[in-house]
Amino acid sequence: MKTHLKTIIISLVIIVVVSLIFYTASRKKPVLVSLGVAETDIVESVVTNTRAGTVKACRRANLSPAIGGQIAKLNVKEGDRVEKGQILLELWNEDLLANIKLAKSELKTARASADQACILAEAAQREAKRVIELEKKKLAAVEDVDRTVTNAKAVQAGCRAARAAVDVSVARIEVVKAGLKRTQLIAPFSGRVAEVTGELGEFVTPSPPGIPTPPAIDLIDASCLYISAPIDEVDAPAIKAGMKARITLDAFSGKSFKGEVQRVAPYVLEKEKQARVVDMETYFIDPEEYLGLLPGYSADVEVILNVRENVLRIPTEAILDNKRVFVYHAADQVLEERQIKIGLSNWKFTEIISGLDQGEQVVLSVDRKGVSDGAFVKPESTASSE
């Protein structure tokens, strides 16, 4: 009896082992998938620029002298820090300097002549008053009074003419000084010299109409920076000045800067055929953040249209057409296709209104071969740890 029972137990064990081997052999190899988790966090609705934006200085000037001439003095070099009002470059102007010297000498002469004429006028006025008093006492003839008063008025007119000549001399000096300034290139603001075109002794000429020429000096004030970036015409109506933004730069990978939209252009640009964009200017909120940044860096801007906090979200890459996802069931390692309802969305995360619960896992590698409803799968992290 015991021998018979033992035989039955051994047979059952063999049957179970064979069944397991057969089941394992007949089951398909699992599809490796990457997973994301439905979790509670923040979701933003954003708009991004269509092409790379550019870091620009709030003040940048391509400077050239107002007139042509030979460079006589070059007071700066590339990289120099300059202050507002500093003379950067000066053309040959010795003739104007000589004219100023001459005009100042003429001014001294005019002032001396005016002093002389006015002193004589004061003396003639006193003499006229004395003769008028004598005439009242019958001690002077009427003819003497008339002659003396007329002479006083004439001399006073000479005084006024001499003073006017002084004003003319002063004005002449100002005219020559204005001409002198046209030979000087003066910094309109404090900044740093980015580029210098020209050397001592070279000639510079103003740009003829319609023919741009390189500026003599490129001056940049990098104390204030902003991002100029193109936005697709479809997205432009949703963007308004004052909206918060997030700025990223290729030169500072992994770091973002807080920004604010300051201006959206009131017109559309046609960059290429069938491509129309609107220029947008975004300023850095915290000046301390962009210390060390250089104008010309490439940058991207995400304008934040709407924000929702403490909502259920999943990675956007998990969502298929018609708002479907593949949910992973860890117990039997199979996928379930499920319909969901979504809210706010961006390229990274999407808000889930219904269809998923907190902690459920969804497939991110939706385009991988073999991923379908009911598919037998294995998470990549699990597969790599085995």
Beta bridge partners of 47: 303
Domain 65-91+188-214: which topology? OB fold (Dihydrolipoamide Acetyltransferase, E2P) (2.40.50)
pLDDT band at 385 (very low <50, low <70, confident <90, very high): very low
pLDDT band at 274 (very low <50, low <70, confident <90, very high): low
pLDDT band at 382 (very low <50, low <70, confident <90, very high): very low
pLDDT band at 10 (very low <50, low <70, confident <90, very high): low
Architecture of domain 29-43+309-385: Beta Barrel (2.40)
The domain spans of the chain are 29-43+309-385, 48-59+223-307, 65-91+188-214, 93-182
- Beta carbons within 10 angstroms of residue 285's beta carbon: 14
% of the chain beyond a pLDDT of 70: 89
pLDDT band at 223 (very low <50, low <70, confident <90, very high): confident
Between CA 112 and CA 117 the distance in angstroms is 9
Architecture of domain 48-59+223-307: Beta Barrel (2.40)
In this predicted structure, the answer to whether residue 384 has a pLDDT above a threshold of 50 is: no
| Mean pLDDT calculated for residue range 9-29 | 60
3-state secondary structure 322-344: CCEEEEEECCCCEEEEEECEEEE
In this predicted structure, the answer to whether residue 1 has a pLDDT above a threshold of 70 is: no
Question: Fold match between 29-43+309-385 and 65-91+188-214?
Answer: no
* Residue owning tokens 């301390």: 288
**Which of the residue ranges 198-202, 206-210, 322-326 would you say has the lowest mean pLDDT?**
206-210
| Cβ within 8 Å of residue 363, ≥6 positions away | 33, 34, 35, 36, 318, 325, 326, 327, 328, 335, 371, 377
pLDDT band at 208 (very low <50, low <70, confident <90, very high): low
